[in-house]
Chain A
Amino acid sequence: DGGITQSPKYLFRKEGQNVTLSCEQNLNHDAMYWYRQDPGQGLRLIYYSQIVNDFQKGDIAEGYSVSREKKESFPLTVTSAQKNPTAFYLCASSSYPGVSNYGYTFGSGTRLTVV
């Protein structure tokens, strides 16, 4: 079955640690996205990538980094510079430029908690 796989489902980070969230898709989608979800704030865009080896900052990129070395993979690193990383992180993908017709396909999310 085609889809997006996010791992792990739950992740705990100690203060000062960097952690990496995995996102893999087998939909042959060109574009991939990372969103952060906090209660009552909806989804906020962290980074997005429209093609391999290229990515753009979203609205809240500070304290995060990404890479796009393969079409299938778009990992997100939450660095120690992110002061409030506890949140639910969602990865999405879309055919490009077909996002207008098909919207996004989402992964099931990773819940990150600082301990």
Chain B
Amino acid sequence: AQSVAQPEDQVNVAEGNPLTVKCTYSVSGNPYLFWYVQYPNRGLQFLLKYITGDNLVKGSYGFEAEFNKSQTSFHLKKPSALVSDSALYFCAVRDMRDSSASKIIFGSGTRLSIRP
């Protein structure tokens, strides 16, 4: 089955502290993984992706994600959180169930709250 799981509905972090938003996946074949961010009443914005290569991927706004094949995880990280990072974060994986592979499956989202 193709799926992506975000085990935490909410993550609370103090400003300046490191943050981690967790994501695990289940796909057939090589995973193509994405992170998106959503601010209130807005569409999703692309943060970063993993296709192949270096397991540590750097993206927008100082975020990075680490691909771990043995643990089937793709956790989102940032060394020092900002209040402006508060938003809803979605992990996603390319759906390989159809030959076109043109669809992406999204996790349920994790709300990140950064307190001053």
Physical interaction between A and B: yes
Q: A42-B107, A109-B41 in contact; A100/B101 too (CB < 8 A)?
A: yes
Contact yes or no, A42 B100, CB < 8 A? no
Verify B106–A99 contact, CB threshold 8 A: no
Contact A99 B94 (CB under 8 A): yes
Residues of chain A contacted by B44 (CB below 8 angstroms)? 43, 90, 92, 104, 106
B25 → A minimal CB distance (Å): 14
A-B contact count (CB 8 A): 68
Q: Which residue of A lies closest to B30 (CB)?
A: A100
Per-position 1/0 for A15-29, Cβ under 8 A of B: 000000000000000
Interface string of A36-73 (1 = CB under 8 A from B): 00001111010010100000000000000000000000
Q: Can you offer 20 A-B residue contacts whose CB atoms are under 8 A?
A: A9-B41, A42-B106, A90-B44, A96-B100, A99-B101, A99-B102, A99-B103, A100-B32, A100-B101, A103-B36, A103-B46, A103-B92, A103-B104, A104-B44, A104-B104, A105-B46, A106-B36, A108-B43, A109-B42, A111-B41
Interface residues of B (CB under 8 A from A): 9, 32, 34, 36, 41-46, 49, 51, 90, 92, 94, 100-104, 106-109
Give Cα distance in the complex from A41 to B108, angstroms. Answer: 5
With both chains docked as a complex, state the minimum distance between the C-beta of B35 and any C-beta of chain A, in angstroms: 9
- Determine the chain A residues whose CB is within 8 A of the CB of B100 once the complex forms: 50, 96-97
Q: How far is the CA of A92 from the CA of B46 in the complex (A)?
A: 12
Inside 8 A of A105's CB, which chain B residues have their CB?
Answer: 46
- Known contacts A99-B94, A103-B49, A104-B104, A42 near B109 by CB under 8 Å: yes
Other A-B pairs, 9, CB within 8 Å; known A6-B43, A97-B100, A104-B104: A42-B90, A42-B108, A50-B100, A94-B102, A97-B101, A101-B49, A103-B34, A108-B43, A111-B41
**Within the complex, which residue of A9, A31, A100 is in contact with B94, where a contact is CB–CB below 8 Å?**
A100
